[in-house]
Amino acid sequence: MIALTDPLFPSRTRASLRENEPVSQAAVQPRFTLDGNDVLEKHLAGTCDTIMAGIRGLIPSHRLQAVLLGGGYGRGEGGVMRTSEGQRPYNDLEFYVCLRGNRHLNERRHHLPLEVLGEILTPMAGAEVEFKIISLEELRRSRVSMFSYDLLVGHRWLLGHPGLLFDLTHHQVAREIPASEATRLLMNRCTGLLFAQERLEHIEFTAADADFVHRNIAKAELAFGDAVLTAHGQYHWSCLERHRRLQQLIPDEPLSWLDDVRLCHATGLQFKLHPERSTASRAILQARQNAVVALGLKVWLWQEKRRLGANFTCVSDYAWGRLNKCPETSRHRNVLVNLKIGGVRSLFKFNSFRHPREKVLRALALLLWHRPVPPPLDGPGAAPFTLTSYFADLVSSYRALWQRVN
């Protein structure tokens, strides 16, 4: 377990973690990792320089307002993978490009060129290079979310200056992150568990499948504790500080599974900071998957009961209950979101005033914790379903819906 007294963790940063109102990583001389060697740090710095040159070549200077490196490397807590050839990056490199003007128009103009740039530079970087176009004006008008908090409090400036964020302080208060964000975190990480289960049932289980399963289990292990902290208003941008807070958390109600969540968080934290390729067998990974999925159900039902004020005793109660699972959303905005995702036909459905994320929450709960069985054959000539193929088809349909909504 990594402690905040670890000598590899800079003392100035360690002190700042204990403040109620966290400061930006830009306030200290930032590193990309906690304990990566100089070769890795220089590689990441050179990668950022190359990527900035590419961004400047694609976007006019009068439109380019700022570029921030977010994610683990932007917060100085990026993963360090040790290999026989030396240390390598592991996590995605997430670049947030702030452009003047309407975000939607900017995305139409610049998303594809940036996506191509990311694909070209990913092999050089040794990690996935991703770009997201954002608008500071839009952030000024929006509420705090886990995404906006993580980005605006923990980042590395590549272009621009901290003064651009002075009027965005409402995004820097973690206790204001709404409960729906904890649900959204669980939704995404449990979706990773669902995709991992589908990989575990491949006829041929490859080394790439094993690594995918291992990685998504670790992400879920970390997320369970992060969701509990968010629900108690104690989320923090630093994964190390979140771990410390989770160990000291006194919940406002008895949680029989909290110690299991703490142990999982320690395992997930270790993987986040020092990831490694999995060489475990399918059987070993399936056993880990089963344990994490079972714990995830307890956290999920607790979180949704707390958020929605309803008593869900089992997955069926949650999935089939008619209670609106996205009450924080606007009915009129939901119509527009449904129109964008499902077209005109969505307007004639009875639930067009509800956010389509509700469909994802229901489907995920059923697929992960209440697995459907194949329907009976339609006729004597019908091709028989297998449990594996039927599940894979359902997961494929779910993936398409989740990607559109998320």
Compute the average pLDDT of residues 214-225. Answer: 98
In the numeric block, which tokens belong to residue 65? 């307002």
Who contacts 349 (Cβ-Cβ below 8 Å, separation ≥6)? 338, 342
pLDDT band at 334 (very low <50, low <70, confident <90, very high): confident
Spatial separation of the C-alpha atoms in residues 263 and 121, rounded to whole Å: 37
Question: Is it the case that residue 11 has pLDDT exceeding 60?
Answer: no
Read off φ and ψ for residue 68, nearest 5 degrees: -120, 140
Q: What is the pLDDT of residues 270-291, one digit of tens each?
A: 999 999 999 899 999 999 999 9
Q: What is the pLDDT of residues 100-112, one digit of tens each?
A: 999 999 999 999 9
Compute the average pLDDT of residues 12-30. Answer: 44
Instruction: Check residue 388 and give its pLDDT.
Output: 72
Q: Rounded mean pLDDT of the chain? A: 88
Q: What is the pLDDT of residues 291-320, one digit of tens each?
A: 999 999 999 999 999 999 998 989 999 999
- The percentage of residues in the chain with a pLDDT greater than 90, rounded to a whole number, is 76
- Alpha carbon distances (Å) from 341 to 158, 333, 335, 338: 34, 12, 10, 5
Which is more confidently placed, 389 or 346? 389
Spatial separation of the C-alpha atoms in residues 402 and 45, rounded to whole Å: 34
Who contacts 39 (Cβ-Cβ below 8 Å, separation ≥6)? 86, 87
CA 155 vs. chain centroid, Å, equals 16
Longest dimension (CA), the chain: 72
Which is more confidently placed, 147 or 338? 147
Spatial separation of the C-alpha atoms in residues 376 and 378, rounded to whole Å: 6
Q: What is the pTM of this model?
A: 0.86
Q: How many helices (H) and strands (E) does the chain have?
A: 15, 6
Instruction: Check residue 345 and give its pLDDT.
Output: 65
- Alpha carbon distances (Å) from 356 to 189, 348, 384: 18, 14, 32
Instruction: Check residue 179 and give its pLDDT.
Output: 95
Q: What is the pLDDT of residues 40-62, one digit of tens each?
A: 999 999 999 999 999 999 999 99
Whether the Cβ atoms of residue 175 and residue 82 lie closer than 8 Å to each other: no
How does DSSP assign 254-270, residue by residue?
A: --TTHHHHHHHHHHHHH
How does DSSP assign 101-149, residue by residue?
A: S-HHHHHHHHHHHHHHHHHHHHHHHTS-EEEEEE-HHHHHHSPP-HHHH
pLDDT band at 24 (very low <50, low <70, confident <90, very high): very low
In the numeric block, which tokens belong to residue 40? 């890795």
Instruction: Check residue 223 and give its pLDDT.
Output: 98
Which residue, among 294, 344, 296, 284, has the nearest Cα to 185 in the 3D structure?
296
Whether the Cβ atoms of residue 243 and residue 266 lie closer than 8 Å to each other: yes
Instruction: Check residue 347 and give its pLDDT.
Output: 59
Orientation of helix 282-308 relative to helix 357-369, angle to 10°: 140
pLDDT band at 29 (very low <50, low <70, confident <90, very high): low
pLDDT band at 13 (very low <50, low <70, confident <90, very high): very low
Q: Which amino acid is at 11?
A: S
pLDDT band at 69 (very low <50, low <70, confident <90, very high): very high
Which is more confidently placed, 210 or 14? 210
Q: Which amino acid is at 133?
A: I
Instruction: Check residue 14 and give its pLDDT.
Output: 38
Compute the average pLDDT of residues 184-213. Answer: 96
Q: What is the pLDDT of residues 156-172, one digit of tens each?
A: 999 998 889 989 999 99
Read off φ and ψ for residue 375, nearest 5 degrees: -70, 165
CATH number of the structural domain 178-309: 1.20.120
Residues forming a β-bridge with 286: none
Intervals of CATH 1.20.120 along the chain: 178-309
Read off φ and ψ for residue 277, nearest 5 degrees: -70, 135
Question: Is it the case that residue 400 has pLDDT exceeding 50?
Answer: yes
pLDDT band at 10 (very low <50, low <70, confident <90, very high): very low
Q: What is the DSSP letter of 158?
A: E
Instruction: Check residue 162 and give its pLDDT.
Output: 85
Q: Which amino acid is at 75?
A: R
Which strands form 129-134's sheet, in the order they lie side by side?
129-134, 93-99, 64-69, 156-159
Q: What is the pLDDT of residues 349-389, one digit of tens each?
A: 657 788 889 999 999 999 999 987 776 655 554 455 566 78
Instruction: Check residue 348 and give its pLDDT.
Output: 57
Element (H, E) at 11: helix 11-17
Spatial separation of the C-alpha atoms in residues 215 and 367, rounded to whole Å: 20
